[in-house]
Amino acid sequence: MNEFLNGMLQAINLILTLNPELVEITTRTLFISLSATFIAALIAIPLGGLINFKKFKGKRSLINLIQTLYSLPTVLVGLFVFLLLSQQGVFGDLNLLFTPTGMIIGQTLLILPILIGFTITALKTVGKDLTDLSISLGASEFQTIYTIMREAKYAIMAAVILGFGRAISEVGVAIMIGGNIRGATRVITTTISLETSKGNLELSIALGIILLGIALIINLMLNQIQEN
C-alpha cells in the first residue's frame, strides 16, 4: 500500500511539473488516436448512411457481421496489419511498420466497425417517421438523407466518442505495429505496460491517471450529448 501511495505522490509530481517524457507520450497518444478516430469517422458515417438507406441483398447479414466485429480483438487487428505492413507484406514498400502512421491505420481499422454499426443504429432510430414526413413534404432523396443525418447527429457523435475511447485505451495494435519505440511510437498504454515490467511505477501511475482523466472527459462529453 505504501508503494502505491508513494507512486501516486510521485506521479502527481510528474504531472504537475509537466515531465517532458510524460507530455511527449500524452501528445503522441492523443495525436494518433484522434487521427484514427477522425479518419474512421470520415469513412464510417457515409458508409453507415449508405448501408442504412440502400436496400440490397444480404443487408441484414452485413449488419450482423459489422456488429460481430465490435468485439474485434485488438491483437488480431495488430497481427493483420503487421503482416500487411511488414517489409515482406503487401504494403512493405511504404515503410509503415513501427511508425505512428502505421498505428493510425491499425486503430482506424479497429474502430471502424463500431462507428459504422452505431451510425446505422442512430439513423434507424430517427429513420421511419422522419423519412415519411420529409417525403410527404416533397423532399428529394438527397434532402431526406440530409435531414435524417442532421437529426441523428448527436447519436453519431456519441458513436465517434466511443470509438475514440476504444482507440486510446487499446494495447494490441499499439505494441504490435508501433513496437513501443522510445521517442517514436511509445504511447500511454504501451508505456504503462513497459514501465511496470521495469518496476518504474511512478510513470505508470501518472500515465494511468492521465488515461483515466481522458476517459472522464469522454464520459462527460457523452453525457452532455445525450442530454441534448
Partner 1 sequence: MNNKIIAAILIIIIALIGVGAYAMNGGFQEKQILRVSTTTSLEDTGLVDNLETAFEKEHPNIDVQFVSAGTGIALKYAEKGDADMVIVHDKKKEQQFIDDGYGTKRYPFAYNYFYIVGPTSDPAKIKGMKNATEAFKKIMEAGEANSSVKFVSRGDNSGTNSRELKIWNNTKANYNSSINGSSWYIETGKGMGDTLVIANEKSAYTLSDSGTYLAFKGNITLVPYLTSGKDLLNVYSAIPVNPEKIKGVNYNASMEFVDFLLSTEGQQLIGNYGKEKYGQALFIPLYGKGEPT
Contacts with partner 1 by CB under 8 A lie at: 28, 31, 35, 38-39, 42, 86-88, 92, 97-101, 104, 179-184, 194, 197-199
To partner 1, the closest distance from the beta carbon of 87 in angstroms equals 3
Least distance from C-beta 105 to partner 1, angstroms? 10
Report, in Å, the least distance between residue 53 CB and partner 1.
19
In the complex with partner 1, which residue's Cβ is closer, 29 or 74? 29
Q: Which three cell numbers stand for residue 88?
A: 515482406
Residue linked to cell 442532421: 150
Taking the complex as a whole, the smallest distance from the CB of residue 100 to partner 1 amounts, in Å, to 4
* Choice between 54 and 198, CB closer to partner 1: 198
Q: Which C-beta is closer to partner 1: that of 117 or that of 178?
A: 178
* Closest separation in Å from C-beta 55 to partner 1: 28
CA distances from 17 to 12, 13, 49, 177, 217 (A): 9, 6, 46, 31, 22
Q: CB of 49 within 8 A of CB of 149? A: yes
Closer residue to partner 1 (CB): 37 or 52: 37
Contact criterion met (CB below 8 Å) for 201 and 195: yes
Q: Position 11: which residue type?
A: A
CB contact set of 177 (below 8 Å; sequence gap of 6+): 78, 81, 82, 85, 97, 98, 102, 103, 105, 106
What b/e readout covers 101-136, taking b as 16+ CB neighbours within 10 angstroms? Answer: bbbbbbbbbbbbbbbbbbbbbbbeebbeebbeebee
